[in-house]
Amino acid sequence: MNSEYYEYQLTIDKILDSGSRSFPDREIVYRDIRRYTFRSFANSVKRLANGLRKIGVKRGEKIGVIDWDTDVYMHNYYAIPMIGSVLHTVNIRYPLELIAKTILHAEDKYLIVRDEFMPLIEKAKGIMPVGMKVISYSDSKEKVRSSLDTIDFWELIESNEPLEEETNVNENDMATIFYTSGTTGEPKGVWFNHRKIVLHAISVSLVGARPPLSLTSNDVYMILVPMFHVHAWGYPYVALMAGVKYVLPGKYDYSFILSLMDKEGVTYSAMVPTILYLLLTNPDAPRYLHVFKRWKVTIGGSALPEGLAKKAKELGITVIGGYGLSETCPVLSVGYYNSAIERLDDNTKFMAQITAGAPIPLVQIKIVDPATGKEKETGKIGEIVVRAPWLTQEYYKDPEKTKALWKGGWLHTGDLAYMDQYGYIHIVDREKDAIKSGGEFIPSLLLENAISLHPKVSQVAVVGIKDEKWGERPAAFIVPKEQVSEEEIRQFLLKLADEGKIQKWWIPDRFIFISSMPLTSTNKIDKKVLRDMTQTK
Amino acid sequence: MNSEYYEYQLTIDKILDSGSRSFPDREIVYRDIRRYTFRSFANSVKRLANGLRKIGVKRGEKIGVIDWDTDVYMHNYYAIPMIGSVLHTVNIRYPLELIAKTILHAEDKYLIVRDEFMPLIEKAKGIMPVGMKVISYSDSKEKVRSSLDTIDFWELIESNEPLEEETNVNENDMATIFYTSGTTGEPKGVWFNHRKIVLHAISVSLVGARPPLSLTSNDVYMILVPMFHVHAWGYPYVALMAGVKYVLPGKYDYSFILSLMDKEGVTYSAMVPTILYLLLTNPDAPRYLHVFKRWKVTIGGSALPEGLAKKAKELGITVIGGYGLSETCPVLSVGYYNSAIERLDDNTKFMAQITAGAPIPLVQIKIVDPATGKEKETGKIGEIVVRAPWLTQEYYKDPEKTKALWKGGWLHTGDLAYMDQYGYIHIVDREKDAIKSGGEFIPSLLLENAISLHPKVSQVAVVGIKDEKWGERPAAFIVPKEQVSEEEIRQFLLKLADEGKIQKWWIPDRFIFISSMPLTSTNKIDKKVLRDMTQTK
């Protein structure tokens, strides 16, 4: 072996290098506050990397970030892993004690905090890791006043030259860590190395070019997945890999988001269904119909209700579904057109594109019997198990939970689904949300989908409630668009049952009308809260 | 570490799996002889893989292939590496002795041979590796008659079930090997592991989606780079990664190729400039103007002469340049629109897209002083050095030559170029083709480009001839389109010199008119033969 051969590592700095060399003039925009070109961004990131090293950050040390979707966060996505330290994207929607718990569990040595979160950190001082240093910043670049001893973030960038030397980071080094609780349970840590993040970014970039999204380097992305949430689905990395303009909305304010989309020419976004719902029902929405017409959207995190998808389509939005977990980096499948459907009629294509999608390049998905592990036939419900180059290796410091995740060389998602004749995945339930009635499963997502088709229904969620006779029976929580009676909904569902679209025995026993859905920290509908509500009513 | 975690390997079988699951109905077409869907192709490849194992092929053993661009070759691209053995793509344009030499050097244990090459192999029996087994096939699927003991290729597919078990191939295992001589010298072996081939395929797929090619999964590829030549630029793998229909032309017959392009709806090809020239000047070409209008082409292997590029553009062909070497898998850069040029005028964009291009994702290119290794400024000529995840690690069994290839962690290409203000690479010369006159370099490619702009010039190549006074002076070999005098060309060049487009002292001392260019085994113009011609004239 020749010693001067360069063993190329798939590290995150390569994405920054590749993007900023090929698309030097492409912009990164933070609200109406700051703009960068990829070239100036790369320079700024390298200054920060150097600054972090100067204050003593070492390889393997973890740095928590507490922030909205800002240009500062975007810097941290690159600068922290680039020097071999680890980006901990702290879930700011957790209660304070849980935030402290994740920071302790991750053993963060540093915390980078936006000024408005400083009071929170000051309050939690006593339950944070001993010796942890705080780096703070404000949008105005003025030094943040605090009772704590803090380092100024902007100073790290402005008083340092760009890091040019090679850092010898290995592609198998830990790059990111964050905590996920799903909709129930204690937070579990998942972590990813550089290689996984790079391969995920390149595969997500590649699949974006396929119809119906057909994204190119001329698209403009504004991602509405919080940056603390599963790498914002990888898009801060995809942006530089795909060479697209990237717009950061800061703290989500839906009226402002609509005006920013208009002003910056946004053509593509990704989000959970709730956010799409909130944007489309925003009072300002009617003024942005021209923006919707050019807009392409990927929906993930929860199933895309057919009713919402149709509403979006009517507005001219190209909307597709997608699927993934915190444990899977996250993207596994999206609703691109595969060869089985591309020449079929528009309705068939539409119904396929709003499913959980088909596997993206390099992902292997099987639907198996949860008991035996045997692969299910087309159309039969089973558990989704996966292989991909970017799945978490373990729950951090939790070998017990890891055992349930990785069985027989496949990651077990705990989601129930079937694969249709065209190769698209239809999620019918999270295993833990499943409703078992008279010994048989009622697929709550299919039922929700059916109810969402009623013109007077705005949002719906179905949960199981205890029943003496059947074990469990479904209850439907509905946010109505306008006045609607239980009887109207029931008649509507009976009609769908007559048409063979649902089973008659799935029709919920109870319909509960509420004014808005309780949400989890990642804006998914919180079924745990709904289930609790059925106990007390 | 949990033992049931699956350490995903970037192996070639993953491309086959991903492509055939996402695009099961997409076609692979071999002339008018056989068609496959990706699904049936994957099944057939897995049968072959099983068949090869049954006859005793072992991990690490090399299998040479002697064939045109056929469906059989396409099988071999996948089945051979899938079981951990190594695909040796034998250069069939070499003289027989050299073919035998490369087979001996690679230590091939098996040879897969198309019937029409069998007489060659029978003749060379005495100089082949002892004990090497021959597998032969004919298009008609009839058993090939031979004086040698041969195994029937089709039998291996038809009498075996698809291989389903996991083969435990590692991504760092050798997958392919082939020999390259450049335009001079002894063949050197270069080899690539699975990981390199997978990463190359995904990056080439990704860059194809960028303007001006803007390829999608609905494009139809027919690659006119022989499959023995640097993985046919990676396209047999890219096809399944990108999910595109793939048309194989067999032995190149330009009239037939035009009709096949028409019949199969070909929209994209890649080739060396000579092939584009031969297609456009084919007597049948005028009947296929409608095909050219939808056609997108990447030109590599040699610089794309501006005259040829303009001719192609007039016909409605979208043509871009590209750059790479046998040692680099091969693609390093292509003429996509980066952010610096995409909003500029059409002519600027066109002139950028027909250069050697800009780096594709994950490739790092520097132009350095060959003596000091220091990076050159924009516009200054130096040697191209590169890093990418898919470069050969060494010349096979040749540590001496490897030393010159890898210096200081960068692969040295031996090509002289400059980077323009927009980030595009302009190759001015191969180091070994450089003409040094009065102590200064005359960039032969720039000079060839200038001469190619003359309306009566069809093809041109400039070489250095010995000169007592200047050391070397340029001589131009020209294939004329119609009668043209030396004086006409000289006046044309003087005008370009007046306009500052070339230097006056570059104008060749001699113009030699010939009826066709001598070509190398990979259809590049053979400057070595031209140089020899100047000695004898």
Rounded distance between C-alpha atoms, residue B163 and residue B161, angstroms: 6
Residue B439's pLDDT is: 67
Structure-token pair, residue A113: 């905090």
- Whether B391 sits inside 8 A of A8 (CB atoms) is yes
- Whether A339 sits inside 8 A of B22 (CB atoms) is yes
DSSP structural state of residue B250: B
* Cβ neighbours of residue B371 closer than 8 Å, sequence gap 6 or more: none
ipTM for the whole predicted complex goes beyond 0.85: yes
**Nearest CB to B5; choose among A22, A358, A394:** A394
Q: Is B170 on the interface with A (CB under 8 A)?
A: no
* Cβ neighbours of residue B244 closer than 8 Å, sequence gap 6 or more: B26, B215, B217, B218, B219, B220, B221, B238, B268
Q: How many CB atoms sit inside 10 A of residue B454's CB?
A: 20
- Are A495 and A489 in contact by the 8 Å Cβ rule? The answer is no
Least confident range of A28-37, A228-237, A518-527, B384-393: A518-527
Residue B182's pLDDT is: 54
* Cβ neighbours of residue A214 closer than 8 Å, sequence gap 6 or more: B216
A145 to each of A92, A100, A117, A195, A410, how far by Cα in Å?
A: 21, 22, 12, 39, 50
Q: How many CB atoms sit inside 10 A of residue A119's CB?
A: 11
- Whether A406 sits inside 8 A of B6 (CB atoms) is yes
Q: How confident is the model at residue A466 (pLDDT cuts 50, 70, 90)?
A: confident
Rounded distance between C-alpha atoms, residue A376 and residue A91, angstroms: 36
Amino acid at B258: L
**Side-chain half-sphere of B111: how many Cα atoms within 13 Å?**
33
Rounded distance between C-alpha atoms, residue B35 and residue A275, angstroms: 46
The predicted-structure confidence for B425-445, as pLDDT tens digits, reads as follows 999 877 677 787 776 778 788
Residue B183's pLDDT is: 47
**Strand pairing partners for B86?**
B62
Which one of A362, A391, A393, A420 makes the best mutation probe of the B interface by having the most chain B beta carbons within 10 Å?
A362
Find out whether the peptide bond into A129 is cis, omega within 30 degrees of 0. no
Query: What one-character-per-residue DSSP string does A447-514 give?
Result: HHHHHHTSTTEEEEEEEEEEETTTEEEEEEEEEESS---HHHHHHHHHHHHHTTSS-GGGS-SEEEE-
Query: What one-character-per-residue DSSP string does B314-340 give?
Result: HTT-EEEEEEE-GGGSSEEEE----TT
Residue A107's pLDDT is: 97
Rounded distance between C-alpha atoms, residue B38 and residue B41, angstroms: 5
Least confident range of A73-77, A370-374, A388-392, B78-82: A370-374
Chain centroid, CA B255 distance in Å = 22
- Whether B243 sits inside 8 A of A338 (CB atoms) is yes
**Nearest CB to B8; choose among A209, A361, A388:** A388
Rounded distance between C-alpha atoms, residue A216 and residue B454, angstroms: 37
Amino acid at A434: A
- Are B364 and B386 in contact by the 8 Å Cβ rule? The answer is yes
Chain centroid, CA A418 distance in Å = 22
Q: How confident is the model at residue B2 (pLDDT cuts 50, 70, 90)?
A: very low
Mean pLDDT within B464-492: 90
Which one of B187, B211, B243 terminates a domain?
A: B187
- Are B100 and B126 in contact by the 8 Å Cβ rule? The answer is no
Strand B382-387 to B364-368 pairing: antiparallel
Residue B179 dihedral angles phi and psi, to the nearest 5° = -115, 140
CATH of the domain at B68: 3.40.50.980
| DSSP SS3 for A8 | coil
- Whether A394 sits inside 8 A of B2 (CB atoms) is yes
Residue listed under structure tokens 């499913």: A355
Mean pLDDT within B344-351: 96
- Whether A406 sits inside 8 A of B2 (CB atoms) is yes
Does pLDDT of A77 surpass 60?
Answer: yes
Q: How confident is the model at residue A94 (pLDDT cuts 50, 70, 90)?
A: confident
Does pLDDT of A2 surpass 50?
Answer: no
Answer whether residue B514 is part of any domain.
yes
Give the start-end residues of each E strand in B431-470. 435-437, 440-442, 457-467
Length of chain A: 537
| DSSP SS3 for A163 | coil
Answer whether residue B349 is part of any domain.
no
The predicted-structure confidence for B168-184, as pLDDT tens digits, reads as follows 999 999 999 999 875 44
More confident residue, B157 or B97: B157
The predicted-structure confidence for A139-183, as pLDDT tens digits, reads as follows 999 999 999 999 999 999 999 999 988 889 999 999 999 998 754
Least confident range of A185-189, A244-248, B330-334, B342-346: A185-189
Long-range contacts of B145-149 (CB under 8 A, 24+ apart): B146/B118, B146/B122, B147/B122, B148/B118, B148/B121, B148/B122
Quote the number of domains for chain B: 2
Q: Is B424 on the interface with A (CB under 8 A)?
A: no
Answer whether residue A215 is part of any domain.
no
Q: How confident is the model at residue A185 (pLDDT cuts 50, 70, 90)?
A: low
R_g of chain B, CA atoms, integer Å: 23
Which one of B1, B5, B385 makes the best mutation probe of the A interface by having the most chain A beta carbons within 10 Å?
B5
- Are B273 and B299 in contact by the 8 Å Cβ rule? The answer is yes
Q: Is A188 on the interface with B (CB under 8 A)?
A: no
Rounded distance between C-alpha atoms, residue B27 and residue B239, angstroms: 10
Q: Which helix (H) or strand (E) holds B343?
A: none
* A3: exposed, middle or buried (Cβ count in 10 Å: 0-12, 13-18, 19+): exposed
**Nearest CB to A403; choose among B2, B342, B363:** B2
Answer whether residue A379 is part of any domain.
no
Structure-token pair, residue A116: 């408005």
Residues in chain A closer than 8 A to B199 (CB atoms): 10
Rounded distance between C-alpha atoms, residue B344 and residue B361, angstroms: 22
Q: How confident is the model at residue A1 (pLDDT cuts 50, 70, 90)?
A: very low
Q: Is B243 on the interface with A (CB under 8 A)?
A: yes
Q: How many CB atoms sit inside 10 A of residue A141's CB?
A: 13
| DSSP SS3 for A400 | helix
* Cβ neighbours of residue A222 closer than 8 Å, sequence gap 6 or more: A246, A247, A248, A249, A257, A260, A261, A264, A266, A268, A269
CATH of the domain at A93: 3.40.50.12780
Which one of B157, B187, B217 terminates a domain?
A: B187
Q: Which helix (H) or strand (E) holds A268?
A: strand A268-271
A228 closest CA partner among A395, A101, A70 = A70
Distance from the Cα of B486 to chain A's closest Cα (Å) equals: 42
Answer whether residue B52 is part of any domain.
yes
More confident residue, A126 or A178: A178
- Whether A423 sits inside 8 A of B22 (CB atoms) is yes
Residues in chain A closer than 8 A to B363 (CB atoms): 18
Does pLDDT of B537 surpass 70?
Answer: no
CATH of the domain at B439: 3.30.300.30
Answer whether residue A341 is part of any domain.
no
Mean pLDDT within B94-117: 94
DSSP structural state of residue B299: E
Lay out the sheet containing B86-89: strands in order across: B150-152, B133-137, B110-114, B62-66, B86-89, B174-180, B188-193
**Nearest CB to A25; choose among B24, B340, B389:** B340
Amino acid at B42: A
Strand B410-419 to B382-387 pairing: antiparallel
Q: Is B394 on the interface with A (CB under 8 A)?
A: yes
Give the start-end residues of each E strand in B47-204. 62-66, 86-89, 110-114, 133-137, 150-152, 174-180, 188-193
Give the start-end residues of each E strand in B150-257. 150-152, 174-180, 188-193, 220-221, 245-248
Rounded distance between C-alpha atoms, residue A443 and residue A466, angstroms: 16
Residues in chain A closer than 8 A to B336 (CB atoms): 217
B424 closest CA partner among B339, B328, B299, B297 = B339
Residue B324's pLDDT is: 96
The predicted-structure confidence for A9-21, as pLDDT tens digits, reads as follows 999 999 999 999 9
The predicted-structure confidence for B138-196, as pLDDT tens digits, reads as follows 999 999 999 999 999 999 999 999 998 888 999 999 999 999 875 446 789 999 999 99
Rounded distance between C-alpha atoms, residue A131 and residue B499, angstroms: 69
Residue listed under structure tokens 């047999």: B236
Residue A533's pLDDT is: 85
Residue A183's pLDDT is: 47
Rounded distance between C-alpha atoms, residue A99 and residue A228, angstroms: 12
Give percent above pLDDT 70 in chain B: 98
* Cβ neighbours of residue A35 closer than 8 Å, sequence gap 6 or more: A27, A28, A29
Answer whether residue B417 is part of any domain.
no
- Are A22 and A239 in contact by the 8 Å Cβ rule? The answer is no
Mean pLDDT of chain B: 93
Q: Is A358 on the interface with B (CB under 8 A)?
A: yes
Residue A369's pLDDT is: 92
Distance from the Cα of B363 to chain A's closest Cα (Å) equals: 7
Q: Is B26 on the interface with A (CB under 8 A)?
A: yes
**Nearest CB to A339; choose among B24, B339, B393:** B24
Chain centroid, CA A417 distance in Å = 20
Answer whether residue B374 is part of any domain.
no
Residue listed under structure tokens 């528009």: A346
Which one of A191, A222, A241 terminates a domain?
A: A191
Q: How confident is the model at residue B394 (pLDDT cuts 50, 70, 90)?
A: very high
Q: Number of CB pairs < 8 Å for A and B?
A: 175
- Whether B408 sits inside 8 A of A340 (CB atoms) is no
- Are A46 and A163 in contact by the 8 Å Cβ rule? The answer is yes
Domain range for A131: 33-191
